[in-house]
C-alpha cells in the first residue's frame, strides 16, 4: 500500500503496519530470537548526529524502528520520508542501528526498537534528548541618558538546559560590576557608570554567547584644566583650556567682553576633542590680559579665566625691565601670575 492510500484510508494503513511488523520477514535481516539491548537516554547537541543502537544477541524474526506513532524502518525498508534518518550499514549481525543527521528539537522524544521473537513481540525504548547551545535572542540597544536618570538593561536567551545569564562591567577606574539575571536596574546613574555592559549567556553546551550594550551618560561641561601662561613680546603664545563633558563641549574664547574668532586679530583657535587652544602667532603688548574660556553643551555651560602675562627674558636690559614691570602690574590680577627668574 502506498503513502497516498494510507492518507485516504488510515485504518487500512494500520493493518498493513501490523502485518509488516508481525508477519513479514524483510529481506536482509537475519532470523534470530532472543533479547535486545538499548540505552534508556541519548543526549546530543542540536545540529549534531544521533545514533540509536539496537543490539540483538539472539534470533529475531522481525525488527523495526518507530518514533512515537511513526514507523522509521522495518528491516531494511525505509518508511520515514525524512532524508536525515538513515539505516546504518550494520556490520555485526547483532546490531540494528539508525542515524539521525542534523538533530533538531523536533527529533526529541521516545524511540522504539520493536522485535518479534518466537512470534512474541518485544520492544525496548530510548529517549532522545536534544541540547541547545545558549543563544541571546533579545538584548537592549545602546542607550544614552542624562546623568541622574534611571536605566534598565535587558538580555533574553534561549537554550537547553536553561541558560545562565550574567552581566559584567568594568569602569575606566577599574571598578568591576557583576549582576546575575536577565535585567539590570540602575537608579540615578552617574557618569562613572557609563561604558560597555556585557551580557554573557551560557549553559555549558558550547562557548558562551556574549553581547554588549553601550551606556552613554550625558553630563554638562566641567573645566579640568585652565592655566595662565607667560610669553615674551614677539614670541608665540598658547593658552590652553580643557573640559570634560558628554557630549563633547563646544568652546568659545573672550578677551574681557569681546569674543575672539579664529584667524582674526592675529589669533588662532584650535579645538581638538576635550581641549581648546588659543594661539598667538606674535605676542604684542596689547595681547596681555585676562581671557575667558567658555565650554558648553546641551546640558550646561562652564567657564574659566586665563591670563596671558609677560615673561622675563634673561637678556633684557635694565631700562627694559622697568617698562615690563609696569606692564606686569597692569595686566596681572593675581600675584601668582608672575613667574620667577630661573
> Which of 16-30, 73-87, 112-126 is least confident?
16-30
Mean pLDDT of 268-272: 94
pLDDT, residue 39, reads 54
DSSP designation for 124 = E
Mean pLDDT of 65-94: 84
What does 208-249 look like in DSSP terms, one character per residue?
A: PEEEEEEEEEEEEEEEEEE--EE--TTS-EEEEEEEEEESPP
pLDDT band at 61 (very low <50, low <70, confident <90, very high): confident
C-alpha cell at 177: 560590576
Average per-residue pLDDT in the chain?
Answer: 81
Which residue, 131, 128, 86, 123, is CA-closest to 110? Answer: 128
> CA dist 53 to 57, 83, 146, 226, 260, Å?
13, 19, 62, 79, 86
Per-residue pLDDT at 170? 80
The alpha-helical segments, DSSP class H, found in 209-263 are none
In the chain, what is the straight-line distance between the N-terminal and C-terminal CA atoms, in Å?
Answer: 110
Distance CA 34, CA 302 (A): 92
% of the chain with per-residue pLDDT over 70: 77
The counts of H helices and E strands in the chain are 3, 26
Query: What pLDDT band is residue 296 in, cutting at 50, 70 and 90?
Result: very high
The larger pLDDT score, comparing residue 335 to residue 248, is at 248
Dist CA 95 CA 74 (whole Å): 14
Read off the pLDDT of residues 197-213 as tens digits, 9 standing for 90 and up: 999 999 989 999 999 99
Question: ∠ CA 316-322-327 to the nearest 5 degrees?
Answer: 100
User: Which domains are assigned to the chain?
Assistant: 14-131 (2.60.40.10), 140-219 (2.60.40.10), 227-337 (2.60.40.10)
Amino acid at each position: 500500500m502506498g503513502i497516498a492510500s494510507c492518507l485516504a484510508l488510515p485504518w487500512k494503513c494500520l493493518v498493513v503496519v501490523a502485518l509488516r511488523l508481525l508477519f513479514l520477514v524483510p529481506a536482509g535481516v537475519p532470523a534470530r530470537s532472543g533479547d535486545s539491548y538499548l540505552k534508556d537516554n541519548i543526549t546530543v547537541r542540536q545540529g549534531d548526529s544521533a545514533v540509536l543502537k539496537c543490539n540483538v544477541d539472539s534470533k529475531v524474526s522481525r525488527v523495526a524502528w518507530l518514533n512515537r506513532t511513526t514507523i522509521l524502518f522495518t528491516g531494511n525498508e525505509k518508511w520515514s520520508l525524512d532524508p536525515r534518518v538513515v539505516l546504518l550499514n550494520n556490520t555485526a549481525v547483532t546490531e540494528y542501528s539508525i542515524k539521525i543527521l542534523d538533530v533538531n528539537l523536533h527529533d526529541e522524544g521516545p524511540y522504539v526498537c520493536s522485535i518479534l521473537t518466537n512470534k512474541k513481540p518485544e520492544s525496548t525504548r530510548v529517549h532522545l534528548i536534544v541540547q541547545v547551545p545558549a543563544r541571546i535572542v533579545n538584548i537592549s540597544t545602546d542607550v544614552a541618558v542624562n546623568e541622574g536618570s534611571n536605566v534598565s538593561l535587558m538580555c533574553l536567551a534561549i537554550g537547553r538546559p536553561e541558560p545562565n545569564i550574567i552581566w559584567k562591567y568594568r569602569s575606566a577606574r577599574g571598578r568591576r560590576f557583576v549582576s546575575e539575571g536577565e535585567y539590570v536596574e540602575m537608579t540615578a546613574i552617574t557618569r562613572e557608570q557609563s561604558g560597555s555592559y556585557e551580557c554573557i549567556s551560557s549553559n555549558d553546551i558550547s562557548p558562551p554567547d556574549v553581547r554588549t550594550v553601550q551606556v552613554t551618560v550625558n553630563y554638562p561641561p566641567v573645566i579640568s584644566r585652565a592655566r595662565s601662561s607667560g610669553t615674551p613680546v614677539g614670541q608665540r603664545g598658547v593658552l590652553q583650556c580643557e573640559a570634560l563633558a558628554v557630549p563633547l563641549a563646544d568652546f568659545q574664547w573672550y578677551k574681557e567682553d569681546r569674543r575672539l574668532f579664529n584667524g582674526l586679530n592675529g589669533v588662532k583657535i584650535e579645538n581638538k576633542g576635550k581641549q581648546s587652544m588659543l594661539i598667538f602667532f606674535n605676542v604684542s603688548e596689547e595681547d596681555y590680559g585676562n581671557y575667558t574660556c567658555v565650554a558648553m553643551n546641551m546640558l550646561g555651560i562652564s567657564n574659566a579665566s586665563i591670563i596671558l602675562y609677560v615673561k622675563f627674558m634673561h637678556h633684557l636690559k635694565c631700562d627694559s625691565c622697568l617698562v615690563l614691570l609696569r606692564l606686569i602690574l597692569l595686566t596681572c590680577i593675581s600675584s601668582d601670575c608672575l613667574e620667577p627668574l630661573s
